[in-house]
Structure 1
Amino acid sequence: MLLGEPARTGYDWNFRLLRIPIRVHPLFWATAVILGLGSTRGNPQEKLQEIILWVLAVFLSILVHELGHALCFACYRINSHVVLYHFGGLAIPDSFQSAAGRSGRDSPFQQIMISAAGPGAQLGLALVVILLLRLGGYTDGTLSQLGLPPQWTADPIEEVNHIVRTFDKNDKVPQSESIQTLHPKYQRRWREADKDGDKRVTPEEWTATVILPSPLLATFISHLLFVSIFWALLNLVPVYPLDGGQITRELFLLSGSGRAIQHSLMLSIAVAVGISLWGFLYWGMLMGVMFLLLAYSSYTTLQRYTGRGGFGGGRPW
C-alpha cells in the first residue's frame, strides 16, 4: 500500500490532545516547507515569515482533520492514534480487534462516518473562522479566490466593490457629496475609510476597511482557509486511499454489487488519472505526480484483488 504509518525516529514530536496520542514525523515539517516555497514573495525576511505562517496553518488544519477521524473512532469505542507525516496525516486504530470487534467498525455506515469526519472537521474549522471574520466585518480573502462570488458568502469586500462600481470611472476619489446617494450601510463603510477626515477616500482606503489590520494574521488565516477548504474537498474525491475513495468503496458495498471493490478501484484509477492531468496543467508537478502515484497504487491494488498481480494475490482490504 502506498500510504502507511512511517517508522518512529528520534526527532518525532509526541504529545496528547483530547487524550489522543499524536506523533509528528520530521518529514511533515519538511514537506510543508517545500509546499509553501512556491507561493512566497517579498524580501528574505518576509518570505521566512510567510513560510512559518504557512507551516503553522498546514499543521493546525491537518491536525484538526485527523482529530476528526480519531474522535469519530472514539464514538465507536475504538482507540486510535494520530500521525502527521510527509503524505499528510493518518488516524490509526490501535489494533485490528478494536477496529473490527464489538464496536462493529466493519459496518459500511460507520466506515463512511469515520472517513467523512476528517474533511468535515476541516471544513467546520474553516466555517468557524469565516463566521468570526464576518462578525468582525472582515473579508476572508480566500473564498473568492476559490471561485465563490462574494455576495454568496456575505463577504464585505462586495460592499467595497459595489461602491467602486457605483462611481464614474473618472471619479477615482469620491467626495462626501457623492456618498450621500448610497445606501446607509455603504455610507458607514465610507466613514470608516475616511480616517483622516478630509472627506475624500481612495479605493485603497475603501479596501483597507475590510482587511484585518494585522498583515501576519491575515496571511495566516488565508493559508488556513485555503488548506482547510481546498485540501478537504480534494480529499473527498473518490480516489483510494483518500477519504473520498474509502467513502466510495463503502457506498459500492452498500449497493450490494458483487464487484463493489473492483468498481470502486476502477473509479479511483480513472479519477486519479484525470486529476493528475489537471494538476500537471494547472497546479504544477507535485499534484500531478501525487495523483499519478495514487492511480498506480489503485491499479496495483486492483491487480492484487483480482489475483492478476504479484505479491501473492489475495484481498488487500
Structure 2
Amino acid sequence: MSTDSSPPFSWHFSLGRIPVVIEPSFWLVTALFGMVGARGVPQILSWVGVCFVSILIHELGHALVSMSLGSGWASIRLYSMGGLCYHQGLSRWRSVAVAAAGPLAGFLFGGIILAVNHLAPPRSLMTFVIFRDLMWVNFGWGIINLLPVPPLDGGHVAGGVLGPTRQRIALWLGIITSAGVVLLALSSRMFYAAFMFGFMGYGCYQALSTTRDLKPLKPVKVAELEPDALARAWQALRSGNETEAARLGHLALSAAKPGPESNAARDLLAWVSLTEGNARAAVSHLEKVEPPQAARPFSLAMAFNALGMPDRALPHALAAVEKEPSDQAAALSVRLLTKAQRLDEAERIAREFAWKTPAMRNARLADVASARGDFGAAAEFYATAFEAAGRAEDAYQSACHYARAGHVERATDLLERALKAGYDDFEALGQEPALAEVRSVPAIAEQLAQRSRGAA
C-alpha cells in the first residue's frame, strides 16, 4: 500500500495553516481545455493562470469556512478534475455551509473582478480574454457547481438539506437534474458536458441501487447472529479478506455502544479502507470517533500519509511512538521526519527506539544517511540490515548507494547478493542511473540476460 498518494513532480506549499498540493495532471488537463477554440500560446497560459487562481480561491472558501466552523484542519488538492478540499468531519448543517462556501467564494472573487473591470475597462485583447475567462470560471462554473448532482457542491448541499433519512430523494434529484442537463447539452452539441453529467447521473443511479439493497439491522439481532464480529473482522482483514472484514466491521459498529466499542469498530473500518486503497474513507471513519482525541494516532498517521498529507500524518506518527510504540509507528515517523528534512530527530528515533530486530534499525539509519547525501554510510547500514535479515531489498539499496558513492566493486557484490536473495524488480534495476556501470559488469549482465530469457 502506497504511503503517499501525491504523484511525482507535485507542487507542495501552504497558505497559512492550510497545506496545498498541485498535481501535474492539473496543469496538463487545464492546458488541454485551454487549447479548445484554437487559442494561441499566450491565451492558453492565461487560461491556465485563471483556472489556477479561481479554483484555488474556490477550494480556499471551503477550507476557511470549515476551519471557522470547528474543523481542526483543512487541506487543498488541485488535480486533473479540478479541486478537492479535505477537512475534519462536521455536523450536517455546518457541512452544508462548507459545501456552499466554495461557489460563494468564486462569486465574491468574480464580483471583485467585475468592480475592477468597471473602474478600469480592458484596453487590450489579452486583458479582455482574461476578464472573460475569469467571468466564466467564477460565475459560469460556480452556477453549474451548485446544481444538485453529486459529487458537485450542489449535490452535497442537497444531501445535507434533505438529511440522512431522505438520501434516496437527493439521489433521484441528481438523476433527474443530470438527465435534463444531458438533453440540453446534446441539443446544443456540448458533448463533453453531456458526457460529464451522464457519468454523474449514472453514479447517482448506482448509489440509488445500493441504497435500495441496504436494510437497517437491529443491534440485538446483529450481536446474536454475529458473535465476536469485531475480532472476526480483524482476523478476516489479516487474512486478506477485505470484503468479509468490512461486512463484519459494519455489523460490529451497528451493535456497538457509543464510546470505546463504536470507536474500535470505526478503527477497524478505517484499516479496511486503507487496505482497499481508499484513504479518504479511512480518514472519514476516524473523524467520527468520539471524542476526536480517542482516535488511534497510528491509524490517523497512516490514513493521512496515504492521503498524501505527510505534514498532517507526522504529529500523529510521533504520538503513536509515545502512546502505542511499535516498529511500524517508529519506521513511519522516521520516514516522515526524513521527508520533512528533520534529520536529527529522525536519526534520534532510529537510534533510540527499541526495535525488534537490528535490521529495522539499520535500514532506518540508512534512510537518514541517504537523505543527508552520505551514500557510503547509507550503503553500509543497508548492507548490515541485509546481513541481519536477508531482505533482498536491503541488499539492492546497498548496491545503489555503493554505486552512488563510487564503490563499483562493492555495488556489484551487493547486487549479486540481492539477485541471489530473490530481488526481482528488474524494471527498477534496469532504469536505476546509479547502477549503469554495475549493469555492464559481465557477471551481472549475464545474470540479467539469463533472467530476461527465462521471463520471455
Where on the TM-score scale, by shorter chain, does this alignment land: which range?
Answer: 0.5 to 0.7
Amino acid at match of 1:241: P
- Alignment-derived partner of residue 86 in structure 1: 80
- Alignment-derived partner of residue 55 in structure 1: 48
* CA 77–17 in structure 1, closer or farther in 2 if over 3 Å, else same: same
Partners of 1:121 and 1:296 in 2: how far apart?
29
Q: Does 1:288 align with 2:194?
A: yes
- Aligned-partner SS, 1:22: strand
Q: How big is the shift at 1:116?
A: 0.6
Q: How big is the shift at 1:215?
A: 2.4
Q: Does 1:251 align with 2:161?
A: yes
Larger radius of gyration: 2
Among candidates 237, 246, 266, match of residue 147 of structure 2: 237
Residues 1-317 of structure 1 aligned to structure 2 (within 5 Å): 7-41=5-39, 47-78=40-71, 79-93=73-87, 98-99=88-89, 105-106=90-91, 108-136=92-120, 138=121, 212-253=122-163, 258=165, 260-282=166-188, 284-307=190-213
Q: How big is the shift at 1:278?
A: 1.9
5+ residue gaps, structure 2, are: 215-242, 255-280, 285-456
Partners of 1:124 and 1:89 in 2: how far apart?
18
- Aligned-partner SS, 2:188: helix
* CA 70–294 in structure 1, closer or farther in 2 if over 3 Å, else same: same
Q: How big is each residue's C-alpha offset from its partner over 1:145-167, in whole Å with a ceiling of 9 and x where there is no partner?
A: xxxxxxxxxxxxxxxxxxxxxxx
Runs of 4+ residues over 4 Å off in structure 1 = 311-317
Q: How big is each residue's C-alpha offset from its partner over 1:64-85, in whole Å with a ceiling of 9 and x where there is no partner?
A: 1000000011102311110111
TM-score (norm 1): 0.64
Partners of 1:116 and 1:283 in 2: how far apart?
30
Q: How big is the shift at 1:31?
A: 1.4
Partners of 1:236 and 1:297 in 2: how far apart?
17
Q: How big is the shift at 1:233?
A: 0.3
Q: How big is the shift at 1:109?
A: 1.9
Partners of 1:135 and 1:283 in 2: how far apart?
37
Q: How big is each residue's C-alpha offset from its partner over 1:136-191, in whole Å with a ceiling of 9 and x where there is no partner?
A: 3x2xxxxxxxxxxxxxxxxxxxxxxxxxxxxxxxxxxxxxxxxxxxxxxxxxxxxx
* CA 111–232 in structure 1, closer or farther in 2 if over 3 Å, else same: same
Is the 1:40–1:50 Cα contact (8 Å) retained in structure 2? Answer: no
Q: How big is the shift at 1:40?
A: 3.1
Q: How big is the shift at 1:304?
A: 1.6
Q: How big is each residue's C-alpha offset from its partner over 1:90-126, in whole Å with a ceiling of 9 and x where there is no partner?
A: 1012xxxx42xxxxx12x3211110110000001000
Is the 1:40–1:51 Cα contact (8 Å) retained in structure 2? Answer: no
Is the 1:72–1:114 Cα contact (8 Å) retained in structure 2? Answer: yes
Partners of 1:273 and 1:87 in 2: how far apart?
21
- Aligned-partner SS, 1:123: helix
**RMSD over aligned Cα, in angstroms?**
2.3
Partners of 2:38 and 2:132 in 1: how far apart?
13
5+ residue gaps, structure 1, are: 1-5, 42-46, 100-104, 139-211
The alignment of Structure 1 onto Structure 2 pairs a total of residues equal to 217
Report which of the two has the higher share of helix.
2
TM-score (norm 2): 0.45
Partners of 1:240 and 1:299 in 2: how far apart?
11
* CA 227–283 in structure 1, closer or farther in 2 if over 3 Å, else same: farther
Amino acid at match of 2:35: L
* CA 304–67 in structure 1, closer or farther in 2 if over 3 Å, else same: same
Q: How big is each residue's C-alpha offset from its partner over 1:200-237, in whole Å with a ceiling of 9 and x where there is no partner?
A: xxxxxxxxxxxx12322221121111111000000000
Q: How big is the shift at 1:279?
A: 2.1
Q: How big is the shift at 1:28?
A: 1.1
* CA 281–34 in structure 1, closer or farther in 2 if over 3 Å, else same: farther
